[in-house]
Structure 1
């Protein structure tokens, strides 16, 4: 996720050095594995494929060492699956001694379209520097090249931009040293009788594995940061698979280590060169610190961490409660104050109210666990804001939750109120079935919200449609060529990108990894 910066000028960070040191102590060692390309490919036009391109086999990688490349020549290697790591290769020459440097361009991509459509035509609003390409000028041949930057990719295109008529270049021994902090040996085999769910589970795990680095990254291609919304979902998937509790704990301590002067945690963190809290603060993401701590303790029973981080978790709820109007409803402001989904037409008031209720219920349970006297006060506030939500946001004539001055009806509002369990179980089930039967115009844009749709169906007792949607949506990505799950996928608009170009989309993204959690946790 990445978005325009808002309200950023006056933030003052109050670091907690004890928390930062604890996070540093929990820094994982990265596991490394060397892999090589599996085939040469050509990328060709096919309008039936997503983005209009597909990769066709063009020979074994061993043929590359016999392929002489001159100016204007290019080759594309397919590593057979999604990879995150460091590229290295040998380059040498044949013919006369090299009398001029070799200029070599590498285009590195997760999807065939990145090998086909020139990055020079990119016009999105996110910096083009996220597009993975390198231009190397090599003065002396032969040479072993080890690229210092980490890449996220399946395909690599090598193109000779300039050389000399007196020699030609040879590429050989091309490899990737993959890196992750996820130990795949810790994952129990699913052996699901449904082949589609088995495959979705496997690709979900691979997506999570590639995002588990020194922190839970949102995406290894872009923007390689620790985001709270992604962390919450990654952690849930991790508890069912890798069970790396220390990595979750490290991330929680990092967020708690750099709050602002009011105690608010940032929506995301930069880890290098030093720990830096980004100047983006989101209503829903701050509350997800509270819910993430609750989930962590539920999975790990680590009482020491619960007690240490409880004040930070409680503070996020307190700050959110300050955002209520005199009716007890979250104020409706037209800024990037709450994310919810990449849906530009979505009014976020109702969803934000439901997320506050969702977080407050978990905060109350943590308060009881640690013996905090705030439990009673928080319980009273919960009752008041639930009552306010039913009074002001539930439209009994429409039978929908509404949001904002225009009383907008959206998928997100209904989903989050079901997850918050404001209404009785039977009413929640009726609401979800009505949502599927008569869907609102304001729909869902990302796998992030499709996760919440499936989970809302499950918690309301609608397992059959939950499984059907999971298979249709994530299975749709598989049918369109995914080997890790994507940041963005709209089956009705497969070119969708909130950034202005699908070239910059992330095709291995943290918030898409949750089917493995849904399948395993709910016993699907």
Structure 2
């Protein structure tokens, strides 16, 4: 989480055991493969590289068989691609029988910076325990060692902290047992004339694959949880690639099975040691339950799930409407939190109004499918919240939606109001063209919000601009070394971290996987 104020308070959870039982029955089998390192690697400082560090291959990993190491020695292995799984190795002593334990430190990195900068110098503000490092003691050698903790990495640094003067150690059979619930055989090959778009699709699919575990995780390095905002985007990409609709259904039932006493779904869930709702609630994320259910129904045509989960979805609309003031605007004070994007200066009132309208329109479509009597109520609320948005947030002279007391102009406000279709189609297109041309200062900081920018561009018919943005943003990430897409990326400030340190950033993150959705769904 970011330093911005986030509502975290204890609430009474009203468990729906039937929903939780359904989710448990949908728990997937994890598919496993074995991966081996490709090369030895060295790290060097390079100010032209992302984060200032570059990896160089020095020798094939096969040469490991002829090497041994003593106290103070270290080496780095590159597995050649991003992996999520469990590492193992066979360690044997060289020389005299080992008269003292081997003390070994393993450092796992998704990016070169994690191999270069000591974790002891970490100064971010979220827990350093997320840094992927393991110090182990090996008493009996030779023998096979498998680390019990799952890691997300491409690079591994081995440091022999101590042995004894009598022996050295050699490493054999280093391997990673990868795990995912994504079946690659279900992904149709992408036929595309643009090499960059093919590569972006490949990395998108890899990102989604590594985040698909027994739920859709937000990131396999950190936080390893089921977040609603990430789920919505992962599900979209999944429908066009792995088609694991049962995993989406499982996640929806988990959220619906763990609401608070008011019926609100949490922003994220833990799945171990039991299914637990986190004490974090976001205005926009709760509404995205409606959106995710909407997308799921129209992808899977699963009417029975829609019937069961519709009351939970509609309740999120009711709770959000309780947040409106006398004018019909989302109240903008210190008593709430809406995520929208990582930007400390972003006022979120207008964007949140847009999310509400967007979700209500999707709820209305579901009500029509169900022939629900809630449809008339939703029609009325949509008319009122849209009219209020134009009356109080739209500045016709400036040509932008304004947010908060200071009447802030931000990208996020315009994007969500376009997605909500508050203005007529032609004016929405003009607004997006104006946004790209004038580029207001309160911009976008995460692939999450860049997804919604591309979605808005496609919605107003600006497909060429959508392609240009995908290539300019996700393509630039690939040029900076991404083999899975990242949690946070600002091409104009490549040192950006919402947590105060690049070491703690997630470099395989669920909300960045959607280029494959756009490329395949809309034939970009």
Relative to the length of structure 1, the TM-score reads: 0.99
**Cα deviation, residue 334, structure 1:** 3.4
Question: Who is 1:233 aligned against?
Answer: 233
- For residues 78-126 of structure 1, the C-alpha deviation after alignment (integer angstroms, 9 at most, x for no partner) is 0000000000001111111111111000000101110110000001111
Question: Who is 1:435 aligned against?
Answer: 435
Give the Cα–Cα distance (whole angstroms) in 2 for the partners of residues 303 and 2 of structure 1: 38
Structure 2 counterparts to residues 441-460 of structure 1, below 5 A? 441-460=441-460
Partners of 2:5 and 2:337 within 8 A in 1? no
Identify if the C-alpha distance between structure 1 residues 175 and 4 changes in structure 2 by more than 3 Å, giving closer, same or farther: farther
Identify if the C-alpha distance between structure 1 residues 7 and 419 changes in structure 2 by more than 3 Å, giving closer, same or farther: closer
Question: Who is 2:499 aligned against?
Answer: 499
Question: Who is 1:354 aligned against?
Answer: 354
* Structure 2 gap ranges (5+): none
Question: Who is 1:149 aligned against?
Answer: 149
Give the Cα–Cα distance (whole angstroms) in 1 for the partners of residues 422 and 7 of structure 2: 32
What SS does the corresponding residue of 1:285 show, helix, strand or coil? Answer: helix
Partners of 1:226 and 1:269 within 8 A in 2? yes
- For residues 291-319 of structure 1, the C-alpha deviation after alignment (integer angstroms, 9 at most, x for no partner) is 10000001000000000000000000000
What SS does the corresponding residue of 2:28 show, helix, strand or coil? Answer: coil
Partners of 2:235 and 2:248 within 8 A in 1? yes
Identify if the C-alpha distance between structure 1 residues 241 and 347 changes in structure 2 by more than 3 Å, giving closer, same or farther: same
Identify if the C-alpha distance between structure 1 residues 182 and 5 changes in structure 2 by more than 3 Å, giving closer, same or farther: farther
- For residues 416-439 of structure 1, the C-alpha deviation after alignment (integer angstroms, 9 at most, x for no partner) is 111111111110110000001101
Question: Who is 2:177 aligned against?
Answer: 177
* Structure 1 gap ranges (5+): none
Give the Cα–Cα distance (whole angstroms) in 2 for the partners of residues 388 and 414 of structure 1: 15
- For residues 15-40 of structure 1, the C-alpha deviation after alignment (integer angstroms, 9 at most, x for no partner) is 00000000000000000001100111
Partners of 1:92 and 1:143 within 8 A in 2? yes
**Cα deviation, residue 10, structure 1:** 4.0
Give the Cα–Cα distance (whole angstroms) in 1 for the partners of residues 359 and 403 of structure 2: 19
Give the Cα–Cα distance (whole angstroms) in 2 for the partners of residues 193 and 329 of structure 1: 46
Give the Cα–Cα distance (whole angstroms) in 1 for the partners of residues 464 and 369 of structure 2: 35
Give the Cα–Cα distance (whole angstroms) in 1 for the partners of residues 368 and 205 of structure 2: 34
- For residues 364-419 of structure 1, the C-alpha deviation after alignment (integer angstroms, 9 at most, x for no partner) is 11112112111101110110010000000001111100000000000000011111
Question: Who is 2:90 aligned against?
Answer: 90
**Cα deviation, residue 7, structure 1:** 4.1
Question: Who is 1:465 aligned against?
Answer: 465
Relative to the length of structure 2, the TM-score reads: 0.99
Give the Cα–Cα distance (whole angstroms) in 1 for the partners of residues 247 and 116 of structure 2: 37
Partners of 2:104 and 2:160 within 8 A in 1? yes
Identify if the C-alpha distance between structure 1 residues 307 and 285 changes in structure 2 by more than 3 Å, giving closer, same or farther: same
**Cα deviation, residue 2, structure 1:** 6.4
Question: Who is 1:200 aligned against?
Answer: 200
Identify if the C-alpha distance between structure 1 residues 230 and 505 changes in structure 2 by more than 3 Å, giving closer, same or farther: same
Question: Who is 2:67 aligned against?
Answer: 67
Identify if the C-alpha distance between structure 1 residues 198 and 16 changes in structure 2 by more than 3 Å, giving closer, same or farther: same
Partners of 1:6 and 1:335 within 8 A in 2? no
Structure 2 counterparts to residues 51-450 of structure 1, below 5 A? 51-334=51-334, 337-450=337-450
